[in-house]
Amino acid sequence: MTQEHHFTAARTARYFTLGPTTARDIWFVLHGYGQLAERFLRQFEPLDDGTRRLVAPEGLSRFYLESGEHRKVGASWMTREDRLSEIADYVRYLDALLELELRGLPQAPHLSVLGFSQGTATAARWLAQGEARADRLILWGGEVPPDLDLAAARPRWARTTMTLVVGSADPYITPKVLARDEDRLGAHDIAYRVERFDGGHELIPEVLRRVAR
């Protein structure tokens, strides 16, 4: 009879940054399914004004996006296979990266965490289960994880301002999905606001600037 086992092994993670190391305003931006951190971070160049440090971690699981020539590569934060282990891995990874970024700073900066698409679940779980405490949590084009224990998350998010960013034509965040998230957040007295824009499942520079303000 086969038996499943787990053990923890060290591995190398990759991340990209924009902006000065001494910035008082740090943004962690978490990409969506099938994206790579470097390309994802390019979309945040409108926020690179010298006052912010933008940090884009890359999901630990890379894969070929297309069969055949294997030219395009993407990354994922997790799949449904052994999902709890993958969640625990990326929570530890993001905690370690934040500690690295904060090392040597004279005082704690203002921390914003933005997740896009699949990255919304990663961002929400990290701030609910990890060591990080953020000033802002921005969930763009993705839902609050349905299995996330919001009762346990609420005290961890006590000083966190939450924004849900929703495109009018986003096929993933439909009015039904948004209503479900709003009901869950409201039932747990978690404050939030909704930022709407005309568009689909995408990051739009002017909306990004508006959210940043």
Residues 89 and 96 sit within 8 Å (Cβ to Cβ): no
DSSP symbol at 35: B
Give the structural domain span for 109: 15-212
**CATH code of the domain covering residue 158:** 3.40.50.1820
- Is 54 inside any structural domain? yes
Structural domain total, the chain: 1
- Is 3 inside any structural domain? no
Residues 173 and 166 sit within 8 Å (Cβ to Cβ): yes
Q: pLDDT tens for residues 11-50? A: 899 999 999 999 999 999 999 999 999 999 999 999 999 9
Residues 86 and 79 sit within 8 Å (Cβ to Cβ): yes
- Is 10 inside any structural domain? no
Q: pTM of the entire structure? A: 0.95
- Is 7 inside any structural domain? no
Q: Which of 167, 171, 165, 112 is nearest to 139 (CA)?
A: 165
- Is 4 inside any structural domain? no
Q: pLDDT tens for residues 161-198? A: 999 999 999 999 999 999 999 999 999 999 999 999 99
- Is 8 inside any structural domain? no
- Is 6 inside any structural domain? no
- Is 188 inside any structural domain? yes
